[in-house]
Amino acid sequence: MATIRNHVTLIGNIASDKRITEFENGSKVVRFDLTTEKVYRANNGKIKNSNEWHKVFAWGNIAGFIEKFGEKGKKVAIHGRLISRAYFNPDGVKRTVTEIEIKHILGL
* pLDDT tens figures, 37-69: 999 998 999 999 999 999 999 999 999 999 999
* pLDDT tens figures, 6-33: 999 999 999 999 999 999 998 999 999 9
Judged on CB neighbours under 10 Å (0-12, 13-18, 19+), 23 is: exposed
CB-based contact 10:100 (threshold 8 Å): yes
DSSP letter assigned to residue 16: S
- This prediction has a pTM of 0.83
Alpha helices in 1-108 (DSSP H): 60-69
Helix (H, G, I), strand (E, B) or coil at 104: strand
